Chains A and B, each alone.
Chain A
Amino acid sequence: MGAERAAPAVVAVVVACHPGPWFDEVLKSWAAQDYAELSVVVALIGDDRESAARVSALLPAAHLARLPEGTGFAMAANRVLEKVDGVAHFLLCHDDVALASGAVRLLLEEAYRSNAGLTSPKFVIWDKPELLLSVGLGSDRMGVTYPLVERGELDQGQHDAVREVFVAPSGALLVRTDLWRALRGFDPVARDPGEDLDLSWRAHLAGARVVVAPQAVARHLEATRQGLRPGRPGSEMCREEHRFRELWTCYSPPGLVLVTPVAVFFAAVETVWLLLHGAARRDGGARRDAGLPLIALVRSFRRPRELWLARRHTQSLRRANDLAIWRSQSKGSARLRETVRRRLEKGHELAWVASRATAKVAARPVAPAGARSSSSAAPRRHDLPADVPRRHEVTADVPRRHAVPADTTSTATNGSSPHADGPVPGPERAGTPAPAAPATTAPGPERAGTSATASAPDSAGIAASASDTARRRAAVASPVGGVPGSHPGPGRSGPRLGWRWNLAAALVVTGLLAIGSRDVLGQALPVVGQLPSATGGVADWWHEWWSGAGTGGLVSPSYSPPGALVMAILGVISLGSAGFALHLLVFAPLLLGPLGVYVGARAFGSDRGRLAASALYAAVPVPFNAIAQGHLSGLVSYAAAPWLITAVSSLGGQAPYTFWAWGAVWPRFVAFGLGLALAAAMAPALLAVVAVIGAAMALATLLVSRDLGGSRLFVASLLIGAVAAVSLGPWALLGLRSWPAFLSVPAGGAPSGVSSVSQLLRLQSGPYGAGALAWALVAAAAIPLFIGRSWRLAWAARMWFVAAACMGLVWAGSQGRLVVPPAEVLLAPAAAALVFAVALGAAAVEVDLSGYRFGWRQFAPAFGLAAALTAVVPFLTWVGNGQWDLPSSGAEEAFPFPGTAGGDYRVLWLGSASLLPLSPQGRAGALSFGTSLDGLPLAAQLWGALGSAQSNVVAQDLSWAGSNQTTQLGHLLAPFSVRYVVVPVGEQSRAGTTGAGATGAAVTGSLTEATMSLLTVLSRQTDLVPVGLDPGYQVFANTVWLPVFSLLGSNASAAQLAGAVANSDRAAGASALQQLAPGRTAPLGVGTAGRAEFGVLTAAAADVVYASVLPGTWELSDDGHPLPARTVGAVATSWSLPAGKTTVVVARSGAAAQHAADLLLVLLWLVALLLARRSLRRGARLPFTLANLELGSPSTEVLEIDWSSVLEGHSIG
């Protein structure tokens, strides 16, 4: 007995506040203790007879103490222990802590062994004792506590060494009696939570040791936190207030001087952080309001007297200085570390999932296709064998911590926050794979019959439970690019933005674009650059498509461009309003482009990135420069570029896109090809641009992953282009014969408007894009290159390669090293690629960033946000212009061209290719030219002109004039019926000159050297008379022009005519032409019609009909008898008429063939459309083979991840 008496007595105080059923187990644990000198006092809060009865029943030796309702744990312990004396240690316990048998003994042994003032056991999860809850707590110098073990960490004995800690949790705390008395127990002001920090800190000050005895194990239910009993857990405000109070009481005066500013600073920073990020949740699930840190700081001074007394008492106990205390505290900010740690953990988990989603999983091979489906080369997703891991399943090589508990999804499905539910897994979260829910694997008939969207290989959609299938389909599984059957990608990587955000952004962008276009929306568009004229109305467009450009051009009659057909159809859609159709043509791309980015960026998973990319694409200068200069092809390219990039990307089989089997994907090629054909009809160069995109992506893939699989991207682009080319019919095939005509540029290239690399990177090809702010887009787009991982980095590289390739081509064109399309046609895909890179950057920030150590990369979000906002600023200033610098008038106001009463004539448009209102038909030096009939060019002349013998001769004439070898250019141009020479000099010249006499040299100050030289040359020509007053267009009238069909006198010999057009002797020809001046000829008006009839009275000697049309293109008949045509120098045609009165019929030859070609084109389109439609429908029902997301090997299977649960905040492990 004496020996027993030698054992120190321990009084355990169990504070019970309306405990639940678990209390029985607690009491039993006390009863099971093997320490003989243990006395248990159960302090019952309130009138809790039931608990008293349970205590009596299960722990009859215990003493009961009743305390008033509302008494907290600290106060209860204080009060009870006031009445206890004569014991060595007190053991303070919660009512939801069950001690393992022997725990008290072990605690006491360790207390004596370590000479500890406070001793705490190892806490494990109540119902999973193999998982750790805490092994003491640490604290930083600001009093912020943090766990020393991972919550839920598997207890493998790794923390079983006795260790000194700074805070002993109050769940079960052995405290030496003398220390308790000296400390006067818990701070009476302190309430849960925070009382353990207070007691431990003061114990440290008093020189006591605080240790954890891991041999002693206690299961902790955390009943209040889990809501298992009435009442709410201690608020964050209370915890923070206590923390500050500890600072004020425990620090010495010098320490206070040092700590106070830091504490205030941290509180302010945290407040700002919370303001910027909105209210955030912390581990405990308590919501942190933005002002909480500062409010708590203020509230810590609420009871100054108590604070002062507490401080005085605490300092009176001091046995250790602050430096000694600091050594037991951690450096830095525990809160910051915790924030970063949480991000890191989440990032690692997401990165792991992302990498797993794109990696081959060396698991079971998929069963042979034939065993499951007769219509597919590989098994259907929902036909996977039952033993293949499903949504939440992981294969054996997946780390255990990443196993997703089966009920996680259920929680998410219910809409509640997983954090709010508490971090403590239930019993089923044991880390072992849960069986797949039958509902998710059963191939029900409704699933088999779902649309292409539903049957797309969406891991979430396939594996979703029945309850959340609809939601997942709507939220995740919609197709990329709006194209049926496209794979939706991996899903969202960051917070989901609601539809309101998207709607608001769309409204803002649309509103700004409308404001920026306000001055031109209600007015007829001027004929600037290549904007077509609406003068003739929609009927003319149909006519031009059907009849061609007539005799207007210096080129062979070619098949009607499909662009004319597109415009005609657009006119019909516009209910016959050509003006509205033109407005659609010009302004619809401003919306279609950003929409394409919005749809295309969906695959990258970041809602915020998608929205930012769309807004940035709306703000790039490319379309506005195109509008300002009237570059229709640039606008079309701007609208089409995002869709093209998305099309090539989605068919390339690179993660995160689906790998498609060729046999199943061809309908998509047809669909994408038709879309490209539609765009290429207006901007033919896109047929080549798509190949550039594919090549750049393939090259980037090779570089970034040494993977030849990227060649599929190139092949996909070629196939899309090929489908489009075939869809465009004979016109495209003819265009392919001439590269410059194919690109709608002159043979030697055209000035791109981009003269420096700086302009290229700023995407500046016109008045918009100058200034340092324009660099911001490039800066924002560079982010994924530095922080991206996995497929995000790969796609960022591909996008940058696309941008670099397009910019490089523009640069090469500007240097004259390559014939390239107009700058905007290439800068548009470059811009699209850059904004896609921005979207990838956002995804990388949300997924990859937290995988890096704290460093410069952590500034990427702020940098990216600042860059993106900066990139939009110039756009906001452009909006003020009201018409995007589009001139208020164009070529239609250049000169009042006379009607055809005097005979058909041509207008030679001469100047920079970017300023010509028609497709160039030839090139003279740095300038291009083309002709139109009777005034403005036809819409059909905007596309695909081909060079001819006539254009070669005209080029030679212009070259002679340019080299000062003639002053009678009009004579040289007369055989080609050029009546007017018009030089568009640009809007700058127009703006730079006002008032009278603003012609000629008056505008040369703002012109390029080539245009200035041209005007000088033309001004030297004695037969070219300057006419017109529009300074934007210098118009010269040719005083010696000949009509297209001229009835010459009989003195016009063949030799004279040949001399007039023969290059070998143009000097003599020029003199001879003076004999053919107006007044000596009779015009025969033909116009744009393909046939005309004249009554002619010829002289006795045969007169001659001279036509400035290429030989073989027109026929002349006399009273139904074809007359033999003579070739005039291979560039013109003449006929000798019989004497006397006769009726002459002029008709175009080969018109039937052209009509047949036109009809063939329409037929092709219809067939292709129907074929694609049927194929896509059938393809939608095809069980697309998702054999491998990365390499497409059909021999491996796919790890299915429930993305929605992951991305909504669930921890995977």
Chain B
Amino acid sequence: MAEPRRLPVLFVLVAALVGALLVGRGSPATGSAAPVLPAPSSAPVTALSSSWFCAGATEYPDSIAAGQLLLENAGPRLVTGTAQLVSQNGYEMTLPVSLAPGQTTAVVEQLPGLAGSNSDHWVGAIVNLYGGMASVTQVITSAHGSASQPCATSASARWYFPYGAALRNAWDVLTLLNPYSVPAVADLSFTTDQGQEQPLAFEAVEVRADSLAVVNLGSHLRRRQHIAATVTTRSGRIVAFETELVNPPPAGAAPVGTPGAVNPVVPVPGVMLALGSTQAASSLWWPSGGEGAGETETYAIYNPSPGAAQLSLDLLPGTAANTPGSSSALSVPGNGAILVTTNDQPWALPGVAYAAHLVSTNGVPVVAARVLMAAPPATSRGLAMLLGQSRGEPMWMVSGGLSGGSSFVRSQQFLGAVWLGIVDASDVPATVSVEELSGGKLAPLSGLSALKVEPGHHVELQLPDELAGDALVVTGTRPVLIEQDWYSSLLSAGTNLAPATQLAP
């Protein structure tokens, strides 16, 4: 036998190794994905069905947070379904719903057969729609303001709420909806301005099947200027909403933040509605932000992790003329919560509209909300809260909101403006178009097509008055984040910051 050839063997093996290394380098790595915040999203146009879970409202009308469901069909097909209204005591009622293509309709959350004052009746809704491209938004109105929030499309075993307050004139209510046919048991824990708390009454809260549980935090957490809450379930999954109700402060009462104040109050009346966050994230965006005279902007940051979070809050103005502001070196201890008010900060940008970006520099995820208080001399009134978003989508549905005659019943007159805030959180510019959902189809809007959004920048669009009550579909060439705000001088309309609903094509 001839001596075997060594070099060809070595060459082939080395070549195979190098080749595999080169090819392997370019292949995507598999493994755990970075957590992102799931947001309510509508089913695609070909969907068989979609389900929406709404809570945080009281029975309609004439209650402290009278609820309505705003159903919108952005798809080309008829969507049918049911809206199952449930109460906290087990009473339920199912209403058939039908949505023609492009149609918007409202379902008032009213339980006629339920005894007692409707002000005591908290209502949840489980909406099953057969068909895609439809969305459901919860709208609540009160004498001191209004708020809207897309309903949840998934339940979870864990919910976070970064902001709330329980004061003399403020009620913080968590409504837990169990859309399943088996009961769930939930535990609530809190981080307040007085430390970590876990009242016994808020442990093992039973949420019966297809029912609602209402937890008034003020019943055991009194005089808390800042409450961050975590809801976890021992069994089952639920949907959790937070409703913050603030009455006008008593005359002469010291507002929160006043040094030495014994029993402070929230200085601005209003109502806030928020769907909790199921996850914390290390990067959170608010497409639209700003503060000025009479407008107080506060970022409530909650760190549910045991490790401290190092954060940076960046304010990114829409034009290059303005210098971004950044509050570097924010630190939130483990299981802690802080409030960061931008007003009067050295890095604040008063009078400038900006997008806000909260990023965890050490990777510890957090949950955060932007809270806006508007009072004279600002033109708008009321309270609003918007949780930070982390995932962009190329298509969004913006609910008709409050200004439409169908939903804004109490006040037939909307005195204010509706704004769309759009931010591109990626590194590539996006082009965005806004279309109106009208007459069963999407109609392009002049002046709102092919809007370019630079990376890390935001665009704010004030909608014309005639569009203020219509449902809109925002389509981007790349994933963007959308926020819908309304600012009204009418107290019953108030101020509202709401996310849009993700729309799957």
Task: Assess whether A967 is interfacial by the CB under 8 Å rule.
Answer: yes
Q: Is the CB of B43 within 8 A of A964?
A: yes
Known: A965-B43, A1009-B32, A1071-B130. A997 touches B158 (CB 8 A): yes
Q: Which residue of A lies closest to B152 (CB)?
A: A1020
Q: Is the CB of B1 within 8 A of A815?
A: no
Interface centre among A1019, A1022, A1027 (most CB of B within 10 A): A1022
Binary flags per residue of A674-717, CB closer than 8 Å to B gives 1, else 0:
00000000000000000000000000100111100000000000
Q: Is the CB of B33 within 8 A of A1022?
A: no
Q: Is the CB of A965 within 8 A of B234?
A: no
Known: A700-B9, A964-B41, A1016-B154. A790 touches B1 (CB 8 A): yes
Q: Is the CB of B32 within 8 A of A1067?
A: no
Q: Is the CB of A996 within 8 A of B234?
A: yes
Question: Which residues of chain A (784-816) have a CB below 8 Å from chain B?
Answer: 785-786, 788-791, 793-794, 796-797, 800-801, 804, 808, 811, 814-815
Contact residues in B for A1025 (Cβ distance below 8 Å): 180-182, 236
Docked Cα-Cα span, A786 to B10, in Å, equals 9
Contact residues in A for B132 (Cβ distance below 8 Å): 965
Q: Is the CB of A705 within 8 A of B5?
A: yes
Task: Assess whether A963 is interfacial by the CB under 8 Å rule.
Answer: yes
Q: Is the CB of B4 within 8 A of A1067?
A: no
Contact residues in A for B114 (Cβ distance below 8 Å): none
Q: Which residue of A lies closest to B132 (CB)?
A: A965
Q: Is the CB of B13 within 8 A of A804?
A: yes
Contact residues in A for B44 (Cβ distance below 8 Å): 963-965
Q: Is the CB of B236 within 8 A of A705?
A: no
Task: Assess whether B51 is interfacial by the CB under 8 Å rule.
Answer: yes
Contact residues in A for B49 (Cβ distance below 8 Å): 965-968, 1067, 1070
CB distance from B411 to the nearest CB of A (A): 34
Task: Assess whether A154 is interfacial by the CB under 8 Å rule.
Answer: no
Known: A964-B41, A1067-B48. A999 touches B13 (CB 8 A): no
Known: A358-B1, A804-B13, A964-B41. A1007 touches B182 (CB 8 A): no
Q: Which residue of B lies closest to A358 (CB)?
A: B1
| Interface window among B16-24, B214-222, B326-334 | B16-24
Contact residues in B for A1009 (Cβ distance below 8 Å): 30, 32-33
Q: Is the CB of B4 within 8 A of A790?
A: yes
Q: Is the CB of B180 within 8 A of A1002?
A: no
Q: Is the CB of A359 within 8 A of B29?
A: no
Task: Assess whether A226 is interfacial by the CB under 8 Å rule.
Answer: no
Task: Assess whether B179 is interfacial by the CB under 8 Å rule.
Answer: yes
Task: Assess whether B157 is interfacial by the CB under 8 Å rule.
Answer: yes
Task: Assess whether A1001 is interfacial by the CB under 8 Å rule.
Answer: yes
Task: Assess whether B62 is interfacial by the CB under 8 Å rule.
Answer: no
Task: Assess whether A756 is interfacial by the CB under 8 Å rule.
Answer: yes
CB distance from B390 to the nearest CB of A (A): 14
Task: Assess whether A755 is interfacial by the CB under 8 Å rule.
Answer: yes
Contact residues in A for B490 (Cβ distance below 8 Å): none
Question: Which residues of chain B (253-307) have a CB below 8 Å from chain A?
Answer: 278-279
Task: Assess whether A365 is interfacial by the CB under 8 Å rule.
Answer: no
B3, B16, B50, B237: which contacts A804 (Cβ < 8 A)?
Answer: B16
Task: Assess whether B92 is interfacial by the CB under 8 Å rule.
Answer: no
Q: Is the CB of A800 within 8 A of B13?
A: yes
Task: Assess whether B235 is interfacial by the CB under 8 Å rule.
Answer: yes
CB distance from B222 to the nearest CB of A (A): 26
Docked Cα-Cα span, A358 to B154, in Å, equals 72
Contact residues in B for A761 (Cβ distance below 8 Å): 17
Q: Which residue of B lies closest to A705 (CB)?
A: B4
Question: Which residues of chain A (743-792) have a CB below 8 Å from chain B?
Answer: 751, 755-757, 760-761, 785-786, 788-791
B31, B33, B154, B181: which contacts A1019 (Cβ < 8 A)?
Answer: B154
Contact residues in A for B41 (Cβ distance below 8 Å): 964
Q: Is the CB of A1000 within 8 A of B237?
A: yes
B16, B126, B232: which contacts A1022 (Cβ < 8 A)?
Answer: B126
Q: Is the CB of B8 within 8 A of A704?
A: yes
Task: Assess whether A1026 is interfacial by the CB under 8 Å rule.
Answer: yes
Contact residues in B for A536 (Cβ distance below 8 Å): none
Contact residues in B for A786 (Cβ distance below 8 Å): 6, 10
Docked Cα-Cα span, A703 to B4, in Å, equals 9
Q: Is the CB of A1027 within 8 A of B182?
A: yes
Docked Cα-Cα span, A1067 to B2, in Å, equals 72
Q: Is the CB of A1002 within 8 A of B158?
A: yes
Q: Is the CB of A997 within 8 A of B233?
A: yes
Contact residues in A for B97 (Cβ distance below 8 Å): none
Q: Is the CB of A703 within 8 A of B12?
A: yes
Q: Is the CB of B1 within 8 A of A1007?
A: no
Q: Is the CB of B182 within 8 A of A1022?
A: no
Q: Is the CB of B48 within 8 A of A999?
A: no
Q: Which residue of A lies closest to B231 (CB)?
A: A997
Q: Which residue of B lies closest to A814 (CB)?
A: B30
Contact residues in A for B236 (Cβ distance below 8 Å): 1025-1026
Task: Assess whether A1075 is interfacial by the CB under 8 Å rule.
Answer: no
Q: Is the CB of A1067 within 8 A of B156?
A: no
Docked Cα-Cα span, A815 to B29, in Å, equals 10
Known: A655-B1, A964-B47. A755 touches B30 (CB 8 A): yes
Task: Assess whether A858 is interfacial by the CB under 8 Å rule.
Answer: no
Task: Assess whether B380 is interfacial by the CB under 8 Å rule.
Answer: no
Contact residues in A for B205 (Cβ distance below 8 Å): none
Docked Cα-Cα span, A785 to B4, in Å, equals 11
Q: Which residue of B lies closest to A803 (CB)?
A: B13
Task: Assess whether A355 is interfacial by the CB under 8 Å rule.
Answer: yes
Task: Assess whether A1012 is interfacial by the CB under 8 Å rule.
Answer: yes
Known: A968-B48, A1026-B157. A789 touches B3 (CB 8 A): yes
Task: Assess whether A1066 is interfacial by the CB under 8 Å rule.
Answer: yes
CB distance from B376 to the nearest CB of A (A): 43
Task: Assess whether B128 is interfacial by the CB under 8 Å rule.
Answer: yes
Docked Cα-Cα span, A248 to B154, in Å, equals 93
Docked Cα-Cα span, A790 to B237, in Å, equals 68
Docked Cα-Cα span, A704 to B235, in Å, equals 64
Q: Which residue of A lies closest to B41 (CB)?
A: A964
Docked Cα-Cα span, A1189 to B504, in Å, equals 70
Task: Assess whether B89 is interfacial by the CB under 8 Å rule.
Answer: no
Task: Assess whether B446 is interfacial by the CB under 8 Å rule.
Answer: no
Task: Assess whether B35 is interfacial by the CB under 8 Å rule.
Answer: yes
Task: Assess whether A146 is interfacial by the CB under 8 Å rule.
Answer: no
Known: A359-B1, A756-B24, A1066-B48. A785 touches B157 (CB 8 A): no
Q: Is the CB of A967 within 8 A of B32?
A: no
Known: A1008-B33, A1025-B181. A968 touches B157 (CB 8 A): no
Q: Is the CB of A999 within 8 A of B4?
A: no
Docked Cα-Cα span, A417 to B128, in Å, equals 93
Binary flags per residue of A1019-1035, CB closer than 8 Å to B gives 1, else 0:
11010011101000000
Q: Is the CB of A1001 within 8 A of B158?
A: yes
Task: Assess whether A1039 is interfacial by the CB under 8 Å rule.
Answer: yes
B16, B157, B179: which contacts A999 (Cβ < 8 A)?
Answer: B157
Q: Is the CB of B4 within 8 A of A1008?
A: no
Interface centre among B9, B12, B155 (most CB of A within 10 A): B9
Docked Cα-Cα span, A1005 to B9, in Å, equals 45
Task: Assess whether B193 is interfacial by the CB under 8 Å rule.
Answer: no
Known: A705-B1, A1016-B38. A815 touches B27 (CB 8 A): yes
Task: Assess whether B88 is interfacial by the CB under 8 Å rule.
Answer: no
22 contacts between A and B (CB under 8 A): A358-B1, A704-B9, A755-B29, A796-B9, A814-B30, A965-B47, A965-B49, A967-B50, A967-B153, A968-B128, A996-B232, A996-B234, A997-B232, A997-B234, A1001-B279, A1002-B158, A1005-B35, A1009-B33, A1016-B154, A1020-B51, A1066-B48, A1071-B130
Binding site for B on A (CB under 8 A): 355, 358-360, 655, 700, 703-706, 751, 755-757, 760-761, 785-786, 788-791, 793-794, 796-797, 800-801, 804, 808, 811, 814-815, 960, 963-968, 972, 996-997, 999-1002, 1004-1009, 1012, 1016, 1019-1020, 1022, 1025-1027, 1029, 1037, 1039, 1066-1067, 1070-1071, 1190-1191
Other 7 A-B pairs with CB < 8 A, given A972-B48, A1019-B156: A700-B9, A704-B5, A964-B43, A965-B132, A968-B48, A1002-B232, A1071-B130
Identify the 4 closest CB pairs spanning chains A and B, nearest first: A1009-B33, A967-B51, A965-B47, A1000-B157
